[in-house]
Structure 1
Amino acid sequence: MILSERQARIEAQTAASHAVAEALKAKAAASSTEAMIAHLKLMIEKLRRELYGQRSERTARLIDQMELQLEELEAKATEDELSAEAAALQASLPAPAPRRRPSRKPFPEHLPRERVVIAAPSSCPCCGSMKLSKLGEDVTETLEVIPRQWKVIQTVREKFTCRACEAITQPPTPFHVTPHGFVGPNLLAMVLFEKFGQHQPLNRQSERYGREGIDLSVSTLADQVGAATAALAPLHDLIARHVMTAERLHADDTTVPILAKGKTDTGRIWAYVRDDRPFGGADPPAALYCASRDRRHEHPDAHLAAWSGILQADAYGGYNGLYDPARPGGRVVPALCWSHARRGFFELADIAASSRRGPGAAPVSPIAVEAVKRIDVLFAIEREINGLSADARLQVRQDRSRPPVEDLRAWLGEQRVRLSRSATVAKPIDYMLRRWDRFASFLDDGRVCLTNNAAERALRGFALGRKAWLFAGSSRGAECAAAIVTLIQTAKLNDVDPQAWLADVLARVAEHPIHRLDDLPPWNWCPPSTTAIAA
């Protein structure tokens, strides 16, 4: 009876794994078809422009949009294909048919070749005989880049046969992060950093490489980006877990246009930053990004479902569900940003900006000027105690910051009574007075920061990049960007060169033991020595 139950359980697990493998196989086929359709549409539009000329500026923009969409579809198809292969292997099923890819041209002859010969065995591993005779060799060419110097690395695997037992011996094929292994880790890291760290779309990178004599199409680059995203997923998950164990998080979001049928949706990139350095915390800083197609409150609720602690954010109402004391994951303590509050007064107190606007500009508000001066006193105190322990910061705030905060609240209340409902300066006053407890929370906890500038700085790259890449081609593309930017921004926060770190991680991640994954994050990473690089 026990044996039959165990057999039934094994059969059920096998059936489930087969169903998962078949579903992933179908998903990979659909992604491949979608990428092929986009590729054909792009080719048709380019042929039309060659035949009939450029009809309008809109046509040129349309082709640019189609190229950006294609690169994300190609990356998505590669990720799905790798997932289907892994599921098929786990379920002991035949691997799905490989996706059709553009035929790769041979590397240019003018590139220098560097032969890396894998050491051959000194004896036959089959019988131990020393009588080995070389049969030939297999050469694998990998395109690699040394800052602005291209070269092709030829990895030679010599093949030997044993004269005693006629067994053939050859070292195994070296690992490559991406399928078909013709892009080296340094080149792949450069492509990732240029796209997600320097805001250079793949079509611009492809054009630049072409001018240097290297033919790498947008489709090929997108294929590599998708494979790298899949390879780096365990490291991204490790950083996400590290961020979500913080006692305090900075949170903010910014707009990211996401391509939809005939339009673009105003999507969002959400940033969650862990940085304990202002109160002397020993844990390393890190940033986590998430993507969504809208700004509904369900997204931060889902991102922070299992987290509780101090949340530094603006007054966006979508966070209110996190502040509910009956929340299943534990109550989140709100702490608002004084920079947001100061900005409302500063815009009305900026004499230089008012003079530039001319006679029609609103007059400078003396109440706003006084409010800015009072708030700047708190910022000056914070600059003095930045980096001290939480207890030391709390003591200074109780002694020096609490009196001006209480005076500011009383003064704002007095000024608000004298103002009409339509007064311009009434809006920033009401913004603070209605949420005063959340603004004053820094007085009772030394871990709380006065501002949410850490999250705003983390989103600056997306704000700058929007002018270069215009939009994300799909929700999957936005999620891929969020994943890679998580790695890049975390490296920057830990004062690590993101490109050098990515190159080293991509070269090591597959053969690195999973139980030693903690060696790879930026805060534990040690740059490889010159000797190791040469080897």
Structure 2
Amino acid sequence: MDKLDDIPTTDPAQIEQLIERLKQTNLEQHEVTLLERLLRTFLSLVSLLQEKRASIKRLKQMIFGSKTEKRKSRRKPDAESQTDPGASDPQSPPPEQSTTESSASAEAPESPPQPKEKDSPPGHGRKGAKDYPGAKVIQLFHTKLQAGDRCPNPDCRGCLHRLKKPSPKIYLTGHPVVSATRYDREVLRCTQCEAYFRAELPEGVPEKGKYDPTADVAIVMFKYGAGMPFYRQARLQESCGVSVAESVQFERCEVVADVVLVVYKLLRRLGADGRVFHSDDTTVVILACVREDKALEQGEKNRATYTTGMVISCERWMIALYESGRRHSGENLDRVIEKRSEGLETPIQVGDAASANWSRKSETIESKCVAHGRRKFTEIEESFPVECEEVLLALAKVYGIDAETKGMSAAERLAHHQTHSQPIMEGLREWIEAQFRERRVEPNSALGKSLQYWLNHWEGLTRFLSVAGAPLDNNLAEQALKRFVLFRKNSLFYKTPHGAGVGDILMSVIETCRLNDVNAWEYLETLMRNADRVRENPSAFLPWNYARGEPAEAAEAEARAA
């Protein structure tokens, strides 16, 4: 037994029983005391090792990442699940089958079971034409045939007719992030007045300016949409023969951010009236702030820098906002909600249990993230497999019930959870309280702390059972933060707060487009080609209005109503 998990006497209750039995033996008192100290020391070491194991697991996930939080159940199916009422007994024939047929089939040799065809998992398999919504469409027609002609096959006397659906052919091409076209213009000069006359440029190529909006959008999308640092783009461009320096790339991003700024401000204003606010934050390095911290006198401390990711669910759309600086998630959320219109119902705020993530100035309904609470048990499952299985299976049932509510209204979803999920959660709470009441768990152990976390935050963790629209978890904010983490992993830091602000504006708009199924590339290109109109009437160029192609007047009226 070289593993701690193989030792059967690590249960604290069993150790306590052993200590009581030792006190009733004929051993000397000092011997009993010595053995009791040894056993209690052993319990302390086991508890410390379990906590360290969970800490090491978290550290490994932070460094290397976690592939998935899905798990296989360790529990065997119960008898009820094994006997499906709709399934027939394998040892007896079906009701409609005669005994003769069953005996004949029993004598016949069993044919090997045919493998079932499995559907390809998401992201696998061949892609059809519908999977390329951004492809340029070119209509091709027959040059020698047309509808109504005789069939060209010599043995056929039929006529041709046009099908409703064409036959698509996808052909993919590649090019650098930014491509360049060189126009060598013929120059004529007058011999008398020495005036110069250059050949006219093609339509669409301006006399002034070097960068097409598509070039600016490409730099922005690769940097803030795909997390590709400026220096890597510069090396790639140089190898392709079209050099674009890092400083120039940031200047082009500033140009795009200047146009997008009015849309970003309007998104913040519309987001203030949202119903559900998902938020979380993560660390970010801003070099100018680091230098400020170093310049402080000894003994003074400044706050660290964070990037907050917010996803706001509105009635018909979703808005993503990023904000980087010295403020925590809760403070950034207050800055958004303070612009909220009067007379609206109290918003729902979703987050983990960290106090810095919660609004301090605005009134909100706190809904704690169930996924964070679940993670407390997946981290220690190796040390407490039986107890963690009880909690994780209960939460799995709740998530399965939540999946059934897809397409329901908020009120219907609440009623569905109250009918099916509430008994499960009440049973789970009763089980957790029994663990402490019957002293089955050490309160200071890793398991005890995880169970106590649920009791301390039970009201927030079960908000989906009492408030219509309250989600189960904060996964939307965490997914939005993953986009920034990808950017941080490659670019490492911002140089100044101004650079961080440019990144926040552009990433907010790109992520908002993704959440609303809008092509971010085409959207940003449209904004750049209509910069003056965007500044005059930004509501007409919101992502969802752009996607629907609504006229400016209708979009503006809708924005006023919102």
Partner of 1:315: 353
Matched, 1:285 2:318: yes
Q: 1:234 aligns with which of 239, 262, 266?
A: 262
Answer yes or no: is the 8 Å Cα contact 2:259–2:527 preserved in 1.
no
Partner of 1:194: 222
After superposition, the Cα gap between the structure-2 partners of 1:154 and 1:244, relative to the gap in structure 1 and judged at 3 Å, is farther
Once the two structures are superposed, residues 190-215 of structure 1 have per-residue CA deviations (whole angstroms, 9 ceiling, x without a partner) of 00011101111112111211111112
Equivalenced residues, count: 343
After superposition, the Cα gap between the structure-2 partners of 1:298 and 1:518, relative to the gap in structure 1 and judged at 3 Å, is closer
Q: 1:261 aligns with which of 266, 291, 312?
A: 291
Partner of 1:472: 494
Once the two structures are superposed, residues 383-408 of structure 1 have per-residue CA deviations (whole angstroms, 9 ceiling, x without a partner) of 11023101110111121111111111
Deviation at 1:527, TM superposition (A): 9.2
Query: What one-letter code is carried by the residue in structure 2 that aligns with 1:485?
Result: M
Query: What one-letter code is carried by the residue in structure 2 that aligns with 1:293?
Result: R
Q: 2:532 aligns with which of 501, 510, 523?
A: 510
Query: What one-letter code is carried by the residue in structure 1 that aligns with 2:505?
Result: A
What does 1:10-159 align with in structure 2 at a 5 Å threshold? 147-148=175-176, 150-152=179-181
Matched, 1:211 2:239: yes
Partner of 2:546: 525
Query: What one-letter code is carried by the residue in structure 1 that aligns with 2:320?
Result: A
* 2:216 aligned counterpart, secondary structure: helix
Q: 2:366 aligns with which of 334, 344, 359?
A: 334
Once the two structures are superposed, residues 501-522 of structure 1 have per-residue CA deviations (whole angstroms, 9 ceiling, x without a partner) of 211221112244723x323222
Deviates more, 1:452-461 or 1:307-316: 307-316
Answer yes or no: is the 8 Å Cα contact 1:346–1:369 preserved in 2.
no
Identity of aligned residues (%): 24
Q: TM-score, normalised by structure 1?
A: 0.59
Deviation at 1:476, TM superposition (A): 1.8
Partner of 1:382: 402
After superposition, the Cα gap between the structure-2 partners of 1:271 and 1:439, relative to the gap in structure 1 and judged at 3 Å, is same
Q: TM-score, normalised by structure 2?
A: 0.56
Matched, 1:394 2:414: yes
Matched, 1:414 2:452: no
Query: What one-letter code is carried by the residue in structure 1 that aligns with 2:247?
Result: S
Deviation at 1:472, TM superposition (A): 1.4
Answer yes or no: is the 8 Å Cα contact 1:458–1:489 preserved in 2.
yes
Q: 2:276 aligns with which of 236, 248, 251?
A: 248
Matched, 1:486 2:508: yes
Deviation at 1:297, TM superposition (A): 5.5
After superposition, the Cα gap between the structure-2 partners of 1:526 and 1:262, relative to the gap in structure 1 and judged at 3 Å, is closer
After superposition, the Cα gap between the structure-2 partners of 1:401 and 1:223, relative to the gap in structure 1 and judged at 3 Å, is same
Deviation at 1:285, TM superposition (A): 1.4
Q: 1:225 aligns with which of 253, 257, 260?
A: 253
Q: 1:427 aligns with which of 449, 466, 482?
A: 449
Q: 2:477 aligns with which of 451, 455, 459?
A: 455
Work out the CA distance in 1 between the residues paired with 2:253 and 2:284: 20
Partner of 1:274: 312
Q: Which has the higher helix share?
A: 1
* 2:434 aligned counterpart, secondary structure: helix
Work out the CA distance in 1 between the residues paired with 2:388 and 2:241: 59
Work out the CA distance in 2 between the residues paired with 1:255 and 1:202: 21
Deviation at 1:175, TM superposition (A): 11
Answer yes or no: is the 8 Å Cα contact 1:258–1:266 preserved in 2.
no
After superposition, the Cα gap between the structure-2 partners of 1:512 and 1:440, relative to the gap in structure 1 and judged at 3 Å, is closer
Deviation at 1:498, TM superposition (A): 1.4
Which entry has the higher C-alpha Rg, 1 or 2? 2
Once the two structures are superposed, residues 75-132 of structure 1 have per-residue CA deviations (whole angstroms, 9 ceiling, x without a partner) of xxxxxxxxxxxxxxxxxxxxxxxxxxxxxxxxxxxxxxxxxxxxxxxxxxxxxxxxxx
Answer yes or no: is the 8 Å Cα contact 1:254–1:268 preserved in 2.
yes
Deviation at 1:295, TM superposition (A): 3.5
Deviation at 1:296, TM superposition (A): 8.1
Q: Which has the higher strand share?
A: 1
Work out the CA distance in 2 between the residues paired with 1:155 and 1:404: 75
Work out the CA distance in 1 between the residues paired with 2:516 and 2:358: 31
Q: 1:344 aligns with which of 376, 381, 403?
A: 376
Work out the CA distance in 2 between the residues paired with 1:382 and 1:459: 24
Deviates more, 1:192-201 or 1:460-469: 460-469
Any stretches of 5+ residues in structure 2 without a counterpart?
A: 1-172, 186-199, 295-302, 341-345, 550-562
Work out the CA distance in 1 between the residues paired with 2:478 and 2:444: 30
What does 1:368-379 align with in structure 2 at a 5 Å threshold? 368-379=388-399
Deviation at 1:257, TM superposition (A): 1.7
* 2:446 aligned counterpart, secondary structure: coil
Q: 1:295 aligns with which of 308, 325, 328?
A: 328
Query: What one-letter code is carried by the residue in structure 1 that aligns with 2:473?
Result: T
Deviates more, 1:470-479 or 1:367-376: 470-479
